[in-house]
Amino acid sequence: MRSGVALRRGTMPRAGHTPASVALAALLLSAAPVLADDAADIRARFAQWTDDFNAKRGGSICDLFSSELISTVRGQGEADYGTRCDIITRSLADPAREFHYQLDLHEVIVEGKLAVVRRTWTLFVTPLNITVVEHGFDVLRKEADGQWRIVRFVSYEEEQ
């Protein structure tokens, strides 16, 4: 036996059964759960953000965003981390209105340390009885602390 593969005299191991190919297959198969775990982590972060927003827990509300955030919302233009967090924080503190988000996470695609989320946020504003449906994409990056954060997002309101 050589390199863990039994050889008969005068034969060569088949490429599909060499130790290197077995190791490569094991490596590729082991990556699938990591991607699934990352997608689950991202889904959990979005769910937690939704819960925090709806419960008006403003202290951790901006943690979903990277400090390098650039966001584009149709009708509002571009905003960086500070501006976007200020808008959200002021909304939560507004005593005249109640805001409630509902999330529909359509798809999470993970590729290494980047991920793309296709989602729809539905915002209910009371007492004005306004419903806003926002479709969009978020690009997340796994940052140095191991947390997935949004570095870019584009959101557009559904035509009524």
Position 131 confidence tier, pLDDT thresholds 50, 70, 90: very high
Position 34 confidence tier, pLDDT thresholds 50, 70, 90: low
CATH class of 15-157: alpha beta
Give tens-digit pLDDT for 76-128. Answer: 889 999 999 999 999 999 999 999 999 999 999 999 999 999 999 999 999 99
User: What pLDDT is recorded for position 20?
Assistant: 56
- Between CA 19 and CA 13 the distance in angstroms is 10
**pTM of the prediction?**
0.77
Cβ-based neighbours of 7, under 8 Å, separated by 6 or more: 1, 13
SS3 of residue 67 by DSSP: strand
User: What pLDDT is recorded for position 11?
Assistant: 45
The DSSP letter of residue 4 is T
- Between CA 38 and CA 113 the distance in angstroms is 9
- Between CA 79 and CA 70 the distance in angstroms is 6
User: Above pLDDT 70, what percent of the chain?
Assistant: 78
User: What pLDDT is recorded for position 96?
Assistant: 94
Q: Return the sign of the alpha-carbon dihedral for residues 36, 37, 40, 46.
A: negative
Of the candidates 94, 12, 16, which has an alpha carbon nearest to the alpha carbon of residue 56?
94
At 73, list the tokens: 């919302």
User: What pLDDT is recorded for position 7?
Assistant: 40
**pLDDT higher than threshold 90 for residue 159:** no
The DSSP letter of residue 146 is S
Whether the CB-CB separation of 150 and 139 falls below 8 Å is answered with: yes
Mean pLDDT, residues 9-23: 50
Q: Higher model confidence: residue 66 or residue 159?
A: 66
